[in-house]
Amino acid sequence: MSVASKVSRRLSETIAPEVIEHIYGPRLAGEMIATFPLFGALNAAHLVMLARQGILTPAQATTIAGGLLRIADEGPEGIDADPALEDAYFNIEARLVELVGADAGGRLHIARSRNDLSAAADRLRARDILLDLLDGAAKVRRTFIERGREFAEVVMPGYTHLQPAQPITFGYYLTGLASALERDAERLLDLWKRLNISPMGAAALATTTFPIDRALTAELLGFDGVLEHGLDCVASRDFSLELIAAAAQMSLTLSRFAEDMHVFVTYEFSSVEFPDSVCGTSSIMPQKKNPVVLEHLKGKAAHVVAAFGSAGACIRASHFTNTLDAHREGQAMIWPGLAEAQRALALAGIAAATVQPKTELLLDRARKNFSTATDLADALVRFAGMDFRTAHHVAGAVVRRLMDAGLRADEADVALVDAACMEVAGRPGGLDADQIAQALDPVRGVTARTVTGGTAPVEVRRMADRMALRLAEDVARVAVWRTRLVTSAARRTDALRELAAG
């Protein structure tokens, strides 16, 4: 009797070619290489557990273990992938049956389903990516911290609304980005405890009547514990949605850095410079030096945000159980989105490591572009006995008079300040020339801000030291997690080889 379906006696018709073309074919092409080692780990852990629980005989376990080791040695290239078998798992199972026979090969699926397998594979895949993202984020954070220290005394205008606001330093700007990335990394770190738990044993959704040991399977896979509720195990991919959301937030931080540098490197701003090695040129305009790294970095964030939106939209109308719209389609854009986040980190690292501020130009701008006006208002409060709002109006009037006269901020004198005071407050300010000069000196203004989080170089370096300590702690946490995964993988492999040896 001819059977149409290669995976089920329930299905009596051949799979429609459109289904092969638009669902199983693309799925298999994309997932075989990516998920092959994941299913290898899952198969090994499940087999060891079945053997130790006496659910398989020693002879059966030995036979299956030998087949799994051969499949691992052959790699994904050893499987002639057939989209009529739907997915990577069924293709791997078919290869196992081919190697060890139907009776032995078919027993490996006792007490499990593609539902808990796919949920576990997604967790293993997301776990590896999470660790890689944390490694990449650590490198960028370290670069921002180190260069923040380096440029802690490079005075420049700080901007709000892309208009000169108050003097800061380039180091202050870079450590600000390090501060934001510290929180971005914290979100990723915090996800670990919700991600690194095992759904294996949930089977399709209602667990199993076989006496399995879910904790043992979890331990062999390097999970920290078991996600108890069987339905939740297979219904939820909140861990991957949370991961892409955290990656999106981090990518947005990096994109904002790229946007600032994109403006700063323009001919009109000319505030920073990048080496030729990270720039491109034009096919027609010989003068061009294009900031290609920055432009691509900005675009990467859009891809990551779009991946989050795609996953959320797919999950939105799905039922709370295993569903293909939530777990196949919903995951489809997450993996490439996370790859874009990794690329964003690499590009941001290049930009952060190579940017060079134009020190003299930036200081000159801070001296002349009126960004010291707030310090002048503060001086009127301190030395002229004015309330701040009146002092604010006086400083604004000083700026207006300087602009009308075509003068720089640091060219204000006693007469001009007193004239503005008379205009606004009806009395002279009484500041002397030295007080005015100090108020309008951006270097002094930056150095004087020693309060927590301030612009003073000593405070910037203190914050950088604190960030470096936190970074070291974060790196150590990730190292512990990686070590545990390596250890569990070694135990799993040893146990599998022991079974194969009989």
The residues assigned a catalytic role are 161, 282
341's CB contacts (< 8 A; 6+ apart) are: 133, 247, 248, 250, 251, 300, 304
CA distance 71 to 43: 11
Greatest distance between any 2 Cα atoms in the chain: 107
CA distance 502 to 499: 5
CA distance 200 to 204: 10
Nearest to 177 by CA among 144, 149, 210: 144
| Amino acid symbol at 417 | V
Residue with tokens 């070619």: 17
What SS3 class is residue 289? coil
Q: Which two tokens stand for residue 393?
A: 């109006």
Tell me the CA distances in angstroms from 84 to 67, 74, 97, 108, 408, one per residue in order.
22, 22, 16, 21, 76
What sections of 196-291 are H helices per DSSP?
214-220, 230-235, 238-264
CA distance 440 to 416: 13
CA distance 337 to 429: 59
